[in-house]
A and B are shown apart, each in its own frame.
Chain A
Amino acid sequence: MATAVPDATSTGDPAPGSTRHRRSPGGGSRLSSRLGLRARVTVTFAIGALGLSTLMAGITYFTARQTFLNERQSAEQRQAFANAALVQNALRSPITQVNQLIESVDTLPGSRSVLRTGGQWYATSISVGQSAIPAGERALVLAGTPASQLFTLAGSPQEVIGVPLPAVHAAYFEVFSLDELAGTLRALAVALAAAALVTTVAGAAVGRWAASRALRPLAGLTDAAVAIAGGQLDTRVDSGDDADLEELAAAFNAMTANLQDRIEREARFTSDVSHELRSPLTTLTATVAVLESHRDQLAPRAQSALDLLDGDLQRFTRMVDDLLEISRFDAGSAELSLDEVDPVELVRRAVAASAPVDDEGVRGPVPFPVEVGAGVEGLRLQVDKRRFERVMANLVENAAVYAGGVTRVLVERRPVSVTYAPLPATSILVVVEDHGPGIPPGERDHLFERFYRGGRAGQRASSRGTGLGLSLVAEHVRLHGGRVWSEDAPGGGTRFVVELPLHPADDGDTGDEAVDAGGTPGAGVPA
């Protein structure tokens, strides 16, 4: 199989070969490691089949050739000696016309006779005369030894058999054409070569099939690994009833179970901590509220202390909430609760909900415009409203803390609505712009990391930021199958863009998310 090639180079040279390298079949050869296992097995099978079929074809060819030649030669010899005897008898009679005699000799098709008698050469064919017979053969026979020789005449194989006739001072030669035999052997060679070729191809095919078949469990393993990488930690592989695979499958499953266990334990720990923190937070929140309602009775210093306490209690609560939310994402237990909504209303409501609350608990006005792009009206978006509200709140807050506040919010569609080529909308973009100092390109990639503050670390004096806001934005949006990124805003500042697909691949489990054909305007095609 594929491991047949011994690894000669790496055994004597342990330094560069990593364990993996040395373990790979034929690891010394760069080519073989570049080829896939399947390709290597295929090539090995093909080479094996080629070698074997070539050997078999060669043996067959040479055996057949020898057999044919032997049979042919013995037949020729019989005839040549019979004819020689005939010629000798005829020459004994003095009246014999040598020319007639040589014509009358009974020959096989394609054989020609040459006779030397009385110092003269006679031949039945003009093309095959005394000169056609090799000189060595001539000399040997004329010296009195019967001999045969293979030679080539005008490109075609011939055999000459010479019989000395000492009794009549003559020598009889018969030249046999081996064209027919050569033709047969040629045909045989072609047939054998074709057979070898077919065998090679078949060998390659068998090799490929066998490799595929042997690798099929590997495909299952690959699928499982991909699923696990995608977050489905409960994925396990099934070894079937294959004893060879059982060990691998068991090891793989054990590894995955370990991994799942660890991840779940970590997520559970975060979740448990957050839950445990909620009890004292509940007490704190309730008692601070009581203190707040008696604020007037407190001395100014106590009031300041209460404000600090209240502010950081809120921040602490937010942080615990955010940690709990993050731990759900980490545990893969975050669920979408989809509603079908008007995206413009959704954004307006979310923006309104992000406006600051005054002391009486009344929401203030939204200090920036919400602009709606062409073709957005009438679209329906499937969204988890609570999560979207968190996304907007976090983006608005981020802008408030780091960039002096949001300057405008845009709701657009993709692809952009154009009247001459109406394309159905596939996603909604919600753009949150600010006129802040902007974000260096190098920092943009890190913005959505947890607790990332980057070059803005000096500005953390806010009582609101938890450091998890933007990473939660990214998680919420990702859960919807959407994307979020930041870019330079035209005219300076930064814009955060949230893209939400109109038709998320994974429908939630609310059962109410499907489109009511009669109730929703067609998917956003401008009239």
Chain B
Amino acid sequence: MSRILIVEDDERIRSSMRLALEEEGYTVDGVGSGEEAVARFATEPYELVLIDLMLPGIDGFEACRALRRTSTVPVIMVTARSDTHDVVAGLEAGADDYVTKPFVAKELAARIRALLRRSRHEGEDAAVLSFGDVEIEPDAGVVRRAGAEVHCTRTEFRLLCELANHPGKVLSREQLLERVWGYDYFGDGRLVDVHVRRLRTKVEPDPASPRFILTVRGMGYKLAV
């Protein structure tokens, strides 16, 4: 029974989301502000966090960054807007995925399942992967760069494994969306772009001119060999 934390200031939305997610078999707690969320998260283990972007006090972006400082827990942003600015800002704050209000409960449940599933199934690719001075242990979920451990979120880790498993091969954004997030053809390519950007800051010597995770214009991304 996975525990989910909902951070949403509108009490009615919080209640209805809790009802709907409990219907899907999750244990759900709700808090009304970013401060409460950070405090609650520090004391209780949650397997996934849903954060509304517009919160009183510290907003969703800041709450997400605060969680990210201590945890790699999957985070889904709940936004009222699908504008580029909010989505990209949310993803850059560390969110793994986003849903736009009003979302269909079944779709939200599917997104949650996708994020939880892959956080449990990271041990598929047993062999140690490596490129440059980066080493990936898929079993242990550990990434090391020059011997030092790099903290990746689970989505970043999964994305890195996907690229490292196909060195030199171009993976389109659609392929990555499907394999890492479980989206179909019409998934939001910005998810991939922002995660690649975040990943580069962790494994590239110079993120501005990447040597390993390359953009193939008009095609997708590939890991240079």
Contact = CB atoms under 8 A, between A and B. Distances in A.
Contact of A281 (B101, B184, B189, B216): B101
26 contacts: A278-B80, A281-B101, A282-B13, A282-B101, A283-B13, A284-B16, A284-B102, A286-B16, A286-B17, A289-B105, A290-B16, A290-B105, A320-B102, A337-B189, A339-B189, A349-B184, A349-B186, A385-B189, A386-B186, A386-B188, A511-B215, A512-B193, A512-B217, A513-B217, A515-B217, A519-B216
B125 interface: no
A294 to B, nearest CB: 8
Interface in B95-109: 101-106
Contacts of A328: 83
Contacts of A385: 185-186, 189
A22 B19 CA distance: 73
Contact of A285 (B80, B102, B217): B102
Contact of A361 (B106, B189, B216, B218): B106
Please list the 4 inter-chain residue pairs (A to B) with the smallest Cβ-Cβ separation, ordered nearest first: A286-B16, A289-B105, A281-B102, A340-B218
Given A287-B19, A289-B104, A385-B185, A279 B13 contact: yes
What DSSP secondary structure best describes chain A's contact surface?
Answer: helix
A345 B184 CA distance: 13
Given A290-B23, A350-B186, A515-B217, 6 more contacts: A279-B101, A281-B101, A286-B19, A333-B83, A385-B185, A519-B216
A519 B172 CA distance: 12
A289 B105 CA distance: 6
Given A279-B10, A286-B20, A337-B84, A349 B217 contact: no
Contact of B105 (A285, A380, A510, A514): A285
B130 to A, nearest CB: 27
Given A282-B13, A349-B185, A289 B218 contact: no
Q: Which of B10, B84, B105 has the most CB of A within 10 A?
A: B105
B148 to A, nearest CB: 31
B132 to A, nearest CB: 23
Contact of B23 (A293, A389, A520): A293
Interface string B1-39: 000000000101101110110010000000000000000
Given A286-B20, A287-B19, A289-B20, A278 B102 contact: yes
B23 A289 contact: yes
Nearest to A388: B186
A275 B86 CA distance: 14
B219 interface: yes
A162 B220 CA distance: 113
Nearest to A514: B217
B20 A287 contact: yes
Contacts of A242: none
A335 interface: yes
B190 interface: yes
B217 to A, nearest CB: 5
B218 A512 contact: yes
A287 B215 CA distance: 43
B173 interface: yes
Q: Which of B10, B185, B190 has the most CB of A within 10 A?
A: B185
B179 interface: no
A525 interface: no
B218 A380 contact: yes
Nearest to B19: A290
Interface string B186-225: 1011100100000000000000000000011111100000
B81 interface: yes
Nearest to A316: B102
Contacts of A350: 186
A188 interface: no
Interface of B: 10, 12-13, 15-17, 19-20, 23, 80-81, 83-84, 101-106, 170, 173, 184-186, 188-190, 193, 215-220
Contacts of B106: 289, 361
A435 B95 CA distance: 47
Nearest to A380: B218
A516 interface: yes
A516 B101 contact: no
Contacts of A513: 217-218
B131 to A, nearest CB: 22
A275 to B, nearest CB: 5
Nearest to A281: B102
Interface in A285-302: 285-287, 289-290, 293
Contacts of B105: 285-286, 289-290
B98 to A, nearest CB: 14
A353 B84 contact: no
A519 B214 CA distance: 15
B88 to A, nearest CB: 11
A388 to B, nearest CB: 9
Nearest to A275: B80
A225 to B, nearest CB: 29
A351 to B, nearest CB: 11
B118 to A, nearest CB: 20
A520 B215 CA distance: 15
Contact of B20 (A290, A340, A511): A290
Interface string A373-408: 000000010000110010000000000000000000
Contacts of A386: 186, 188
A252 B91 CA distance: 42
B218 A285 contact: no
Contacts of B12: 279-280, 283
A317 interface: yes
Q: Which of B10, B106, B186, B193 has the most CB of A within 10 A?
A: B186
A520 B218 contact: yes
A353 B186 CA distance: 9
Contacts of B20: 286-287, 289-290
A519 B17 CA distance: 46
Nearest to B17: A286
Given A281-B102, A353-B186, A340 B19 contact: no
Contact of A282 (B83, B102, B170, B215): B102
Contacts of A317: 102
A512 B16 contact: no
Given A279-B101, A339-B189, A385-B185, A286 B173 contact: no
B186 A519 contact: no
Contacts of B184: 349, 353
B19 A516 contact: no
A285 B190 CA distance: 26
